[in-house]
């Protein structure tokens, strides 16, 4: 594994802060559970742990939408995301996350060199996941 310089870490942290600032307009209902997960996801992003960011993104969005939008902890994740997420590509994100979490013997997506060989693609996907997560957290103003 390569070490992340403090400068690169701070650059990524500043980018997250800018995205949050741009998304946060007005007052929003938040889910403490989702926000706690998001803090960990932000650390993973700053560290360059791209798979962790993608896996965490669906968990953050799921927790937030369950408590704040659906108010239902029994609804399936796919239905929850389709019914309550207002952005694009949520099924892309869910399927990407599932491909990392659920091993498929017929179509393995990871090998031990994936982090090194696919760095640019994985960073791009993690950045998209981060943007989608921030959008979900601020998609509807609270009252």
In a domain? residue 142? no
Domain count, the chain: 1
Cα of first residue to Cα of last residue in the chain, in angstroms, is 45
The pTM (predicted TM-score) of the whole model is 0.87
- pLDDT per residue as tens digits for the range 78-102: 888 888 888 888 999 999 999 999 9
What mean pLDDT is reported for the chain? 87
129 contacts 54 by C-beta, under 8 angstroms: yes
Q: Supply the range of the domain harboring residue 40.
A: 6-137
Residue by residue, DSSP assigns 73-135 as: SSS-HHHHHHHH--SS-HHHHHHHHHHHHS--TTS----TTHHHHTHHHHHHHHHHHHHHHHH
Question: What CA–CA distance (Å, rounded) separates 62 from 70?
Answer: 10
In a domain? residue 44? yes
Residue 142 scores a pLDDT above 60: no
Residue 44 scores a pLDDT above 90: yes
Q: Per this entry, what is the length of the chain?
A: 143
Closest CA to 95 of 111, 112, 107, 84: 107
Residue 28's SS3 state is coil
């Amino acid at each position: 594994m390569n070490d992340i310089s403090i400068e690169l870490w701070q650059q990524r942290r500043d980018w997250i802060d800018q995205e949050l600032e741009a998304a946060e307009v007005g007052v929003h209902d938040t889910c403490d559970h989702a926000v706690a997960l998001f803090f960990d996801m932000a650390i993973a992003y700053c560290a360059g742990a791209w798979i962790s960011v993608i896996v965490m993104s669906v968990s953050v969005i799921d927790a937030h939408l369950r408590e704040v939008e659906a108010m239902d902890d029994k609804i399936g994740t796919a239905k929850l995301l389709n019914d309550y997420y207002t952005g694009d590509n949520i099924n892309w994100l869910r399927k990407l996350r599932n491909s990392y979490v659920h091993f498929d013997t017929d179509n393995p997506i990871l090998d031990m060199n994936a982090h090194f060989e696919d760095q640019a693609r994985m960073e791009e996907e993690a950045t998209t996941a981060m943007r989608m997560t921030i959008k979900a957290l601020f998609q509807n103003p609270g009252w």
